[in-house]
Amino acid sequence: MTYCTWCGEWFTPDNEHPYQKFCRTEHRKKYDHKQENIRRSQKRREKFTPCPFCGTPFSPSKEHLKYCSDMCSSIAYVLNIQERHKTIVTENKGRIRNCKYCGREFNTKVTGRSKYDTDKCYFLDVYGHEEPREIVKNCEYCGKEYPTRISKSIACCHGHTRRLNKIRRKARMRSTEQVHYSRFGIFQRDNFICYICGRPLNMDAVAPQWDSPSIDHVVALSNGGNDTPSNVKAAHFLCNTIKSNRQ
């Protein structure tokens, strides 16, 4: 009697095969399949390939591995991205455009700007002078003094700028005559008094408070009125709302 190489059980071999090692044919097939996988893995591990980044030879556990460690793989990935970026920058020759201020032709890659030839042109167009200097202006919406570097600024904050632009945009959409005026200048002209009820305006109040200051068009824009200083007067927010588009 002998024992099976696969399962370890004792069995009596046949007379025709006295050196039989397996008790069943299935055990022999399983054993051969396992030995074949071991040989394949050994052959795969015996192949030493140099790492493309550090150059150290290693045996990859899987066929798709290229680097010996995760560190080499991550560093090579970052370097590859940087090289691609360099090639994109070198291939990009820029565009030839005309300066928005002086009209000269320039290459956008050389100057680093897309609209202006030099910083001098940029400051002259945006700020009105070569170097940005702070100037004190009065807000056209609330009349408060505020420092700014932009010569074309009209309001002290973004909210007041939006409200002024909304009024002007409404006048442009209705194709009416439009003349630039200061909202605070209208209040000073009317001595900070509502022309509807005759009571003074509360300049510290903010809409929708009833006594907050507002600009009313005597002839409404919806009725064909113009957005000019002669057609606007100071009024309370509540009085302006009740009047609506009536004259």
Question: Is pLDDT at 136 greater than 70 in this prediction?
Answer: yes
Q: Is 128 left (phi over 0), alpha (psi -120 to 50) or beta?
A: left
Question: What share of the chain has pLDDT > 70, as a percent?
Answer: 83
Neighbours of 138 (CB within 10 A): 16
Question: Can you give the pTM of this predicted structure?
Answer: 0.42
Written as one string, the DSSP assignment of 219-239 is S-GGGT--BSGGGEEEEEHHH
pLDDT at residue 207, rounded to an integer = 79
pLDDT for residue 153: 84
- Please name the residues in contact with 31: beta carbons below 8 A apart, sequence gap of 6 or more: 5, 6, 22
Task: For residues 100-119, give the mean pLDDT.
Answer: 77
Q: In whole angstroms, what is the distance from residue 8 CA to residue 5 CA?
A: 6
pLDDT of residue 132: 65
Over 70: is that where the pLDDT of 230 sits? yes
Residue 234 has pLDDT above 70, yes or no: yes
Mean pLDDT of 216-241: 87
Predicted local distance difference test score (pLDDT) of residue 119: 79
The percentage of the chain sitting over the pLDDT mark of 90, rounded to a whole number, equals 4
pLDDT classification of 51: cutoffs 50, 70, 90: confident
Instruction: State residue 227's pLDDT score.
Output: 84
pLDDT of 95 over the 70 cut: yes
User: Which residue do the tokens 């691609």 mark?
Assistant: 84
pLDDT value for 86: 63
**Which pLDDT band, with edges at 50, 70 and 90, does 93 fall under?**
low
CA distance 204 to 200: 12
Write out the two tokens for 239. 């009085």
Domain-wise residue ranges, the chain: 96-133, 136-243
